[in-house]
Structure 1
């Protein structure tokens, strides 16, 4: 992770309200439903590139007790702590590169909406999946959302790698030390706060 890339994302969050950020969801209902249907409230869930997403706050309200917010930027992490207020003490916080994050508490659900598709270099994808391998519990779940093959080719001025569900499964099976199964998939049209359409590919992968 280069300093310039970190500065890019710090600037995006520091200089813009959520209404000016294309990835903002008024309600992360797909992620919430998939997470809550995948595990019990006492299991460890990590949100990768969590930013200022409402997901962890909604999971707290639903009674989930083992939540981790992983985010590259200080700006988004600090904003999210302020939004949650006293509830922020119930969340584990990590500011830094998700590829470098490690935990002693095995993760049952690894959630990532719109981080993995920025990893356009093979070595970065390999390092990311190595982090999944180390942190995910046996039979754990990865819920991942990237731009679909028909989605944008760039986001925030940066190139992305587009996927369909089969390509995500093949990528994990080729780079992971574990075998993976595709348990669910969804192509979703996200409407940005500005009213533009972005086609996302959601996939639910289970470690075998």
Structure 2
């Protein structure tokens, strides 16, 4: 997406999520610039490296979903790499507006769907070949919420599809944005996904926040059998 065009990004699809999660993240993005939140990345690494690890032949026009994608620039990179459709789902409309504005005029912007929704209440209306999540799963400290998340993942992911999942690692923070988190090792993430998934690559990454703090992330890239 280096050349400018007149392509306009799609409008945000609003399912009007309610509840404490929606209110919390709405306030986070209203009170802090998107490039000052702790999870901000100028370039979405290692997400792209792990996506390329599960699609070494290239995405070939496949469909992807970035859950909790917020203001991340990942969607634009995925389109540029060859994904034919990318859905970005987030509970914060402000975060989606920031990301959508960033791709205004970029080739392929109309291949990105912006979905304002609560992931745990959302039901997929199509299947995807890639499920990407950086830093949503670790907010699910309740086992029933993790089970609901995994049910949605299995419903949304096509047979043979891939998952790239990143959470705080065992040495990572215990809280983020005022909320408790559940830390995971790559092996624990693989166990959560279960035997229907084959790990392709795992890693521990140290993320440097805009404020200069170091955060340990655990990553898993896996293929659905």
- Gaps of at least 5 residues in structure 1 are none
Match in the other structure for 2:68: 49
Of 129, 136, 147, the residue aligned with 1:126 is: 147
Matched position secondary structure for 1:187: strand
- Number of the residue aligned with 2:131: 110
Q: Deviations over 1:148-205 (max 9, x none)?
A: 01110000010000000111111222xxxx6222221000000001110000000112
Deviation of 1:82 after TM superposition, in Å, equals: 1.3
State the shift of 1:56 in Å: 0.9
* Residue in 2 that maps onto 1:61: 80
The worse-fitting range, judged by mean Cα deviation, of 164-173 and 184-193 is: 164-173
| C-alpha distance in 1 between matches for 2:215 and 2:44 | 15
Equivalent position to 1:195, from 212, 221, 224: 212
Please give the alpha-carbon distance, in whole angstroms, between the structure 2 residues aligned to 1:103 and 1:91.
Answer: 16
Kindly state the Cα deviation for residue 128 of structure 1 after the two structures are TM-superposed.
0.3
C-alpha deviations, 1:18-37, integer Å up to 9, x for none?
33200001111211122133
Question: CA-to-partner distance for each residue in 1:33-54, whole Å, 9 max, x for gaps?
Answer: 2213323141111111001111
Distance 1:2 1:93 in 2: 17
Q: How many residues align?
A: 204
Equivalent pair of 2:202/2:221 in contact (CA under 8 Å): yes
Q: What is the DSSP-based 3-state SS (H/G/I as helix, E as strand, rest coil) of the residue aligned with 1:67?
A: strand
Provide the residue aligned with 1:75 in structure 2: 94
Contact 1:190/1:197 (8 A) holds in 2: yes
Post-superposition CA distance 1:36-85 (Å, at most 9, x none): 33231411111110011111112223332211111111111112111111
The structure whose RCO (Cα within 8 Å, separation 6+) is larger is 2
TM-score by length of 1: 0.92
> Per-residue displacement from partner, 1:120-164 (whole Å, max 9, x unpaired)?
011100100000111101111111000001110000010000000
Query: Could you say which structure has the higher helix fraction?
Result: 1
RMSD: 1.7
Q: Work out whether 1:17 is the aligned partner of 2:33.
A: yes
SS of the counterpart of 2:170? coil
Partner of 2:12: none
Q: Are the aligned partners of 2:54 and 2:222 in contact in 1 as well (CA < 8 Å)?
A: no
CA distance in 1, matches of 2:83, 2:115: 18
Rounded Cα–Cα distance in structure 2 between residues aligned with 1:112 and 1:78: 19
Q: In the TM superposition, what is the alpha-carbon distance from 1:118 to its structure 2 partner?
A: 0.2
Tell me the secondary structure at the aligned position of residue 198 of structure 1. strand
